Amino acid sequence: MPDQLTGTPALDAVNAALATVQDPEINRPLPELGMVKDVQIEADGTVRVEVYLTVAGCPMRQTITDRVTEAVSGVPGVTAVQVGLDVMSDEQRAELRRTVRGDAADPVIPFSQPGSLTRVYAVASGKGGVGKSSVTVNLAAALAKRGLSVGVVDADIYGHSVPRMLGVEDKPTQVDNMIMPPQAFGVKVISIGMFTPGNTPVVWRGPMLHRALQQFLADVWWGDLDVLLLDLPPGTGDVAISIAQLLPNAEILVVTTPQLAAAEVAERAGAIATQTHQQVVGVIENMSWLELPDGSRMEVFGSGGGQTVSDALTRTLGARVPLLGQIPLDTRVREAGDAGAPVVLAEPGSPAAQAMSAVAEGLAVRQRGLSGMSLGLTPVRH
Ligand SMILES: Nc1ncnc2c1ncn2[C@@H]1O[C@H](COP(=O)(O)OP(=O)(O)O)[C@@H](O)[C@H]1O
Ligand SMILES: [Mg+2]
């Protein structure tokens, strides 16, 4: 409330306004994060707010300044808002990390906590080269375009290709123990390739891989994600098992080509869900046909693979595993991937892009299972 006598804004009211301002990356109120350094109120109604940024050159500085200005401007009696920026000390950053993370020895994976609203999809395939990464980045880009908050973990340790396909060249920034993921097209991206120099192969074995994946999931500052997509290596190896342990709620999306030989191995990759008690969301058939200039379809890799996997997994898992879509072969898919701009954005009208967008649409409107979720509603008795 403004001071009744002088009309200057009240400190309490300014603080209350600041408490409504969220840090854009951490999604918690600035005061809670120790990011408000000082507030000064002048007699003429000017309010000066000093804000601590987590790191110098924080890419969110303008957003934070704008949010603070907007919130404080609304306080009665405020005539002007000035925002000053400072940078946290190491000690303050460590304190912030404790605030956000707690003191737990093991970093916590937010997506596997009860009540997490993030839908986690692990994109799996039997063999490599079927378009798993292409599908992953295009689904991610399409979902982000729809306004969802999306993250991608490139967990294909030997064949990591997601950063290139999304045109991400930045390395993650590190704040204390936390890793800030680079973004492209509104998608936050972390890849094992970002942590290895040049094009060096990763020669990690099970336990190291497990630890690396745990870090990707727990130490990376994802913020509140609606969807997390994981690009798994082909097959049913260590990574798939680690993901099942680290993210038991991850649901599997199987990518296959129409070829029956590919379908058989894809089915195996999906059937791992019986052992890990995961759900298979559905099957995506890629490279389904090539449209010829006369409009006819050439089935380069045969036909029926997607449906075969869908039927077989439905039988094995005892729950319906639908064929979510068929994506035609199209040179634009590859070109867009090479250029670092997913085809759903670069050539949204192409049939391949439309097929991928339709799958993304289906995933976006899909409700998560409600078991074990707190609805945050108070029942009303009639
Ligand atoms: N529908 C498609 N049409 C044309 N090329 C495609 C299509 N899907 C994938 N590709 C290309 O095929 C190659 C393998 O795809 P990729 O997504 O890397 O497969 P994976 O991740 O399964 O190994 C890439 O060069 C990619 O650009
Ligand atoms: Mg790949």
The tokens describing 208, both together, are 């190291």
Verify that 148 and 91 share a domain, yes or no.
no
Whether residue 287 is found in the same domain as residue 309: yes
Residues 6+ apart with CB under 8 A from 43: 6, 8
Q: Which amino acid is at 297?
A: R
Round to whole Å and give the CA distance between 100 and 28. 9
Do 284 and 327 lie in one domain? The reply is: yes
Residues 243 and 350 in one domain: yes
Beta strands in the chain (DSSP E): 36-41, 46-53, 80-87, 119-125, 150-154, 173-175, 178-180, 183-184, 187-191, 227-231, 251-256, 279-291, 297-298, 323-329
- Protein residues whose CB sits closer than 6 Å to any atom of ligand 1: 125, 128-134, 159, 161, 286-287, 327, 329-330, 333-334, 337, 352
Tell which one of 134, 166, 257 to mutate to probe ligand 1, the residue whose CB is within 8 A of the most ligand atoms: 134
Tell how strand 46-53 and strand 36-41 pair up. Answer: antiparallel
Tokens standing for residue 154: 């490139």
**pLDDT tens, position by position, 105-155:** 567 898 988 888 999 999 999 989 999 999 999 999 999 999 999 999 999
- What pLDDT, on a 0 to 100 scale, did the predictor assign at position 274? 85
Assess contact for 233 and 239: CB atoms under 8 A: yes
Same domain, 90 and 203: no
Burial of 118 (0-12, 13-18, 19+ CB in 10 A): buried
The tokens describing 275, both together, are: 């052992």
pLDDT of residue 141: 98
State the Rg of the chain over Cα: 24
Q: Characterize 224-245 residue by residue with b for buried, 16 or more Cβ atoms within 10 angstroms of its Cβ, and e for exposed.
A: ebbbbbbbbbbbbbbbbbbbbe
Evaluate whether residue 334 is within a structural domain: yes
DSSP 192: G
Residue 280 alpha carbon to ligand 1 centre in Å: 22
216 within domain boundaries = yes
For 261, the domain range is 114-364
| Index of the ligand 1 atom closest to the CA of residue 136 | 17
Residue 370 within a domain? no
Residue 89 corresponds to which amino acid?
Answer: S
- Does residue 373 fall inside a structural domain? no
Q: Are residues 87 and 145 in the same domain?
A: no
The protein residues having their C-beta less than 5 angstroms from ligand 2 (an ion) are 133, 156, 159, 161
Same domain for 97 and 137, yes or no, is no
pLDDT for the residue numbered 97: 77
Is 107 part of a structural domain of the chain?
A: no
Query: In whole numbers, what is the pLDDT of the chain averaged over residues?
Result: 87
- CATH code at 281? 3.40.50.300
Residues 202 and 97 in one domain: no
What is the total count of domains within the chain?
2
Q: Binning pLDDT at 50, 70 and 90, where does residue 172 land?
A: confident
**For atom 3 of ligand 1, which residue has the closest CA?**
329
Q: Looking at the structure, tell me whether residues 41 and 188 fall in a common domain.
A: no
Instruction: Please answer whether residues 180 and 256 qualify as being in contact, where contact means their C-beta atoms are separated by less than 8 angstroms.
Output: no
CA–CA dist 143, 138 (Å, integer): 8
Residue 60: CATH number of its domain: 3.30.300.130
Among 174-188, 310-324, 362-376, the least confident range: 362-376
What is the position in ligand 1's atom list of the atom closest to the CA of 156? Answer: 21
